[in-house]
Every structure is written in C-alpha cells, then in structure tokens.
Amino acid sequence: MIVLGGFFARNGDRIQLNVSDAGDLTTYLGVLKKFEDSGGGVVVSWLPAELQSDEGGHAILGDAHGYNVMIVPVVKDETKVTVRLRISGSVTVDDEQTITISDDDPFGWRIFIK
Amino acid sequence: MRIRTISVALIFMVIAPLLHAACDLNHRDECKISELRLKTQQAAKLKEKTATDAAEKKVGNENRATTAPDPFASRLHNSYQDFVAPFSFAINKIEESKDGRAVIVRFNTLRHEGVKLGFTGTAAKPTLFAGIAEGIPEVQRDDVVGKLGGKLKDFDDVTLAASLAFEKKVCDPSTSFCFGRNPQTYRQALATQLKPLLEEAAILASDRSSEAGDLEFQTFLNNKGLSDQVVLGTITDKALHDEILRRIHEQVLLDSAASAKAIEFLNKAGITNLATLLDNQPQLAFTGSWRNVGDLGGPDELATTVEFQYGANNLNNAGSKLLDILKDDPVKQPSDKVVFTASYKRSMHYKFASLSGTGVSLASGTFTPVDVPRTSDWQAKAQWGRRLGVAMDKEQQPRFDLSAEFQRNGKGGIRTKNRVVATATVTVPLREDMSFPISLKYANKPEFLEGTRKDLSMHFGISYRFPWEPKPQ
C-alpha cells in the first residue's frame, strides 16, 4: 500500500472519502479495512459512483487499533488521481492529494485509534 | 509602525503554507514526514521499473530528435486567449501541437442516447501552395515567395471536424451490449464484478507487519510531540532527525513488501487481461472534416471516414463471468478480430490566375496560372484474423489473416485508379521473436502486385521482432 499519510482519531469519529478526479483509471474500489490483534478485515467498500458523488464513501470508526482508508486501482497506463479524506469528530482532518499511479498498488491513509 | 508589523506578520501567515515547495528527495529537510515517506516509496517503485525499462529507453532516446517547436501555435494561442474566454462554456480544451505548428480547440462533447458527438477546430500554420511558387519565374522565385508568405493570415488554414461515436456514458456489459473503449463507461460495472478480488488485494496490501510497524512509527512521532505533517528540517535534534529517516526507510520496506503481495495476487487473478478485453470492445466511429485554405494555400478539402473495430475476447462476451475469463489463459479465449475502415477525400477545383490581387508583382516575366482540377479518393480496407486451433506451443499458435483493400481515385471527373487487392496470410511461429508468414495475394490488375505479371501471387519469408518491440497480442 502506498501510504499518503497517517492520522490519529477516536472511536466514533466520521470519515469521508472522495475521488475528485479518477484520471484514466480503468476502475477502482474504495475500501475501509480495520486492523487489530486478531487480524482485521474489510469493514466496508465503496464503488466509483459513491466515491465520485458529493457525499463520497463514509463510515463511523469503531474500536480497533486502526484503519486503512484505501483506493484499490486497476491501471492500464500511468495516470493522475485526486483523492480527498476528511475526518470529523475528535479531530478535524481534510487532506486532498493528487498522486501519479502507474500500477495496481492500493494507496490511501492509515488512521490510528487513540 | 505596529500596524505595519502586524500586517507583515499576517501576510506571512497566509502565504507561508503556499511557499511550501513540492517535496524533493534531494532536499529532504524541506519535506513533511508524510511526503518524504510517500516520495521514498514512489522512488523505490520507480527504481524497480526503470531497471526493467532501461534497455528500451536507451534505444528510444538515441533516436529522438530535439527540435524547438514552431512559435506559431503559442503566438496564436496567446493572441486570442482573451477573445476565446467568453466561449469557455463550450470549449473543453485548447491545445498546441507538439511541433508548434497548430492550435487545436476541442469543444465539449454532446451525448445523446448512446451517441457521442465531438467537434474540433484546428488552425494550422498556413503555407504557400507549391503550384503558385512553381508559377513564378525561377530568377525571382525566392524573393516573391517570401513576399507572398508575408500575405498569409493566421486563419488561412483552418480545419473543422466532427466525430460521432457510439458510446454510452455508463454501460454495464454484463446486462447490455456496450460500444466503445473509454474506461469511464465501464468503471462502475467493472468495480462491481471485481469487488471480491479488489477487497482481497486491499487486505494483502496492508498486512499486519506493515500496520504494526506504522502504528509504532506514528506512536513514536506522537510521543515526541510530532506528527507526519511536520517538516523534517524543523527538527533540530540531529539524533531524532536521523532516527525518523531510519524509521521511514524501515516502514517503506514493510509497505513495499505488502504492496508486492497485492500486485502478485492481482496478476495471478489475470487483472492484466482486463486491458485486452477493454481494447477488444466494439467501436464504431464516423468523422468528417472540412479544411478551408486561404486563396494562396491551394485547394480546400473535404474528408470523411468510418471505422469499425471488434475483438471477440471482449467485455460484452465476458458478461457476468468476468472473473473466470480474466483468470483463464488468454490463448484459450476466442481470438477473432475484425477491422473495417473506409474513407473518402475530395480536393476542390483550385484556380489561381494571377498575382494581381495579392499586392505582390513580378519585376519581369509572367506568372504561369495555376489550375488544379478537383480530385477524389475512395479507400476501404477490411481485415479479419484469428489464431488457429493447432497446438504448436502453449504461447505461440499459428494465425490466419484475411484482408481486402479497395482504392478508387479520380481527377477532374475522370477515374485514374481502380484497385482491389486481397491477401490471405498464414503466420507460423518459429520462436517467440520469429515467425514464418506465407501469403497469397490477389489483385484486379497485375501491376498492383510486386514482381509478377499474373493477378495472383504468393509470398513467404521470415519475420523477426527486435527484442525492444512489444509482443503482438
């Protein structure tokens, strides 16, 4: 996973993921994956239509060591993608980044629960 | 004095974040910790890719010409930028050609019921028609051509083009027949079908060791009163500064190892075959253009084309079994490909009787008038090909291809060429980079075949693909 950044948040905080420009990606999936001692797994996944809407993909963080908010891309040719993560609640985060994608390596943020 | 100090401080606070330059690994201290980590990971990825592509790039770069682009496009673009601004609602993009000799205006695409209609306007650098130059007595030619060149106007070579393609904005090939190869059309449908695969890749891309390592790294920063949004150069404690760099490299190795697992998993699931399925989607497009050349530029031109392409191994045929098709060996999938193109081009009758209207005169002698009759050119080409089911090698199968070409030219209403050539080719692979093609050609007139006086000829030879050329699909 290509890590765009890491943030600390709390149980009950709300996250929102948007893809403002998917460039020439063939397709992609937004995934919220939690991690904990027992392993963790996919909490929710979002399709492109949800991620490109104003509301984006959203979820409430629960009790875990942390979460990965990821985009799993399928790429044919190198392309630029603009993604935005917002966290609200105990912290306020608004991070928008444009990243060049050249292979199918997932990318996104890590959120650690305090 | 105090007001001035406060104002300066406020301005600094506003512009300081804007002055934060893009992260560069050669100036690590100017990067935020998160940026440095991202750049380090991307650089490691790039290094891997560069090593693979090194040989190809070397060959490519040696042959690349380095000529400065013509200033025409940039001058025209800048001169009319303000004039174009009120029409920005209708314009999608304005581009300058790579050689700098043309400005291309792309208008917004119109869509209706699965049909996409696009318009472009191109202003190319006008040139004097060769026939006019030839009509000037040779002793004065260079001088007069130079003067006539100065009479050419910016919009003396304008082409207006329209293209119509069958392509819906969103289409699901598992429930309907879709046209076009634009990935945006299929994004939602593909993500729906690939969801289990992509979710599994997400799990692999962030494994326990990379997550635990990251938690430790972020906690370390947190305990030091830092976050990964801190600019590295602001950390004055050298030991802490170096420890952060060490931990970044350690974490990048963990993340890259997890990434490699995810990519390997997707490759094994055949995700790379998806591009082939997309490229084989049926495509039907019509284009028409009108080129208006000024009085000194030669004949105006009308051109139309129709193009149809289809490959049997496509998303429509995969339907709801996409995951199975991707995983399957591509050699086992149907390999039929069909391409049909037809075009018609017409150059209008062009007359240029004298230089009198141009403001340029000859010192002596007379100008030879130009009279170019109208010309027409019809061309059509149809191709069909498939791999043969003969098992020679798992990777290499013989191919059978059929093609037919038709061309009819006319000048001043009189037909000058009527040509039909059909070819059947069997290509037998000898090695991965070498094959043995045998072709049988038919032409309606023997002169269209090389080195034969009959209307049928046979050719065979050896075809070799250089190591840096891409493998044929």
Q: Which domains does chain A have, with CATH numbers?
A: 2-113 (2.60.60)
Nearest to A42 among B34, B203, B263 (CB): B203
Let me know: does B105 contact B121? Beta carbons within 8 Å. Answer: yes
Supply angle C-alpha B128, B159, B122, rounded to 5: 95
- Segments in chain A below pLDDT 70: none
pLDDT digits (tens, 9 = 90+) for B106-126: 999 999 888 999 999 999 999
B214 interaction partners in chain A (CB closer than 8 Å): 3, 6, 110, 112
Radius of gyration of chain A (CA): 13
Q: What is the pLDDT of residue B468?
A: 77
- Give the per-residue SS3 of chain B: CHHHHHHHHHHHHHHHHHHCCCCCHHHHHHCEHHHHHHHHHHHHHHHHHHHHHHHHHHHHHHCCCCCCCCCHHHHHHHHCHHHHHHHCCCEEEEEECCCCCEEEEEECCEEECCEEEEEEEEEECCCCCHHHHHCCCHHHHHHHHHHHHCCCCCCCEEEEEEEEEECCCCCCCCCCCCCCCCHHHHHHHHHHHHHHHHHHHHHHHCCHHHHHHHHHHHHHHHHCCCCCCCEHHHCCCHHHHHHHHHHHHHHHHHHHHHHHHHHHHHHHCCCCHHHHHHHCCCEEEEEEEEEEECCCCCCCEEEEEEEEEEECCCHHHHHHHHHHHHHCCHHHCCCCEEEEEEEEEEECCEEECCCHHHCCCCCCCCCCCEEECCEEEEEEEEEEEEECCCCCCCCCCCEEEEEEEEEEEEECCEEEEEEEEEEEEEEEEEECCEEEEEEEEEECCHHHCCCCCCCEEEEECCEECCCCCCCCC
The distance of B335 to chain A (nearest Cα, Å) reads 21
Query: Is-contact A44 A59, C-beta < 8 A?
Result: yes
How confident is the model at residue B321, as a pLDDT? 95
Contact B202, A106 (CB under 8 A): yes
Using alpha carbons only, what angle is made at residue B268 by residues B262 and B271, rounded to the nearest 5 degrees?
A: 80
Enter the ipTM: 0.97
Q: Do A65 and B255 touch (CB under 8 A)?
A: no
pTM of this prediction? Answer: 0.79
CB A67 within 8 A of CB A114: no
Q: Are B440 and B426 in contact (CB under 8 A)?
A: no
Q: Do A74 and B218 touch (CB under 8 A)?
A: no
From B38's Cα to the closest Cα of chain A, the distance in A is: 6
Backbone angles phi, psi at B3, to 5 degrees: -60, -40
The amino acid present at B329, given as its one-letter code, is: D
Q: Residue with structure tokens 């301005």?
A: B11
Cβ atoms < 10 Å from Cβ of B57: 11
CB contact under 8 A, B218 and A5: no
Residue B50's pLDDT is 72
Q: Do A5 and B205 touch (CB under 8 A)?
A: no
Alpha carbon distance A17, A28 (integer Å): 13
Rounded to whole angstroms, the maximal C-alpha distance in chain A is 39
Q: Is A70 near chain B, with CB under 8 Å? A: yes
Read off the amino acid at residue B317: N
Polymer length of chain B: 473
Q: Do residues B164 and B286 lie in contact, with contact meaning Cβ atoms separated by under 8 Å? A: yes
b/e map B413-444, b = 16+ CB within 10 Å: eeeeeeebbbbebebbbeeeeebeeebebbbe
Nearest beta carbon to residue A68 from set B34, B206, B263: B206
- Give the closest residue to B367 by CA, choosing from B382, B345, B378, B352: B352
Q: What parts of chain B have a pLDDT lower than 50? A: 1-3, 5-6, 8-19, 59-60
Q: Tell if the CB–CB gap between B203 and A33 is shorter than 8 Å.
A: yes
Q: Is A72 on the interface with B (CB under 8 A)?
A: yes
Q: A31, B258: Cβ pair inside 8 Å?
A: no
Do A27 and B190 form a contact (C-beta atoms < 8 A)?
Answer: yes
Of A5, A26, A99, the CB nearest to B183: A26
Contact A48 B274 (CB under 8 A): no
State how far residue B367 is from chain A, nearest Cα, in angstroms: 55
Q: Is the minimum CB–CB distance between A38 and chain B shorter than 8 Å?
A: no
Cα distance from B170 to chain A (closest Cα, Å)?
10
Closest CA to B123 of B87, B152, B165: B152
Which pLDDT score, from 0 to 100, does residue B6 have? 47
Q: What is the DSSP letter of A92?
A: -
Take residue B441 and report the two structure tokens written for it. 């050609």
Kindly determine whether residue A74 and residue B198, on different chains, have CB atoms separated by under 8 Å.
yes
Q: Is B378 exposed, middle or buried (0-12, 13-18, 19+ CB in 10 A)?
A: middle
Which residues does chain B have within 8 Å of residue A83's beta carbon, measured at their own beta carbons? none
- Give Rg (Cα) of chain B: 31
Residue B281 CB: number of other CB atoms within 10 A?
A: 23
Query: Model confidence over A83-109: pLDDT tens digits?
Result: 999 999 999 999 999 999 999 999 999
Give dist(CA A99, CA A4) in Å, integer. 9
Chain A residues in contact with B216 by the CB 8 A cut-off are: none
Joined together, the tokens standing for residue B215 give 């938690």
- Whole-angstrom Cα distance, residue B83 to residue B232? 47
How big is chain A, counted in residues? Answer: 114
CA dihedral B130, B136, B141, B145 (to 10 degrees): -50
Partner-chain residue, chosen from B38, B188, B202, that has the shortest CB–CB distance to A33: B202
Residue B222 to residue B218: CA distance in whole angstroms: 6
B186 contacts: CB under 8 Å, gap ≥ 6: A26, A27, B171, B172, B173, B178, B278, B315
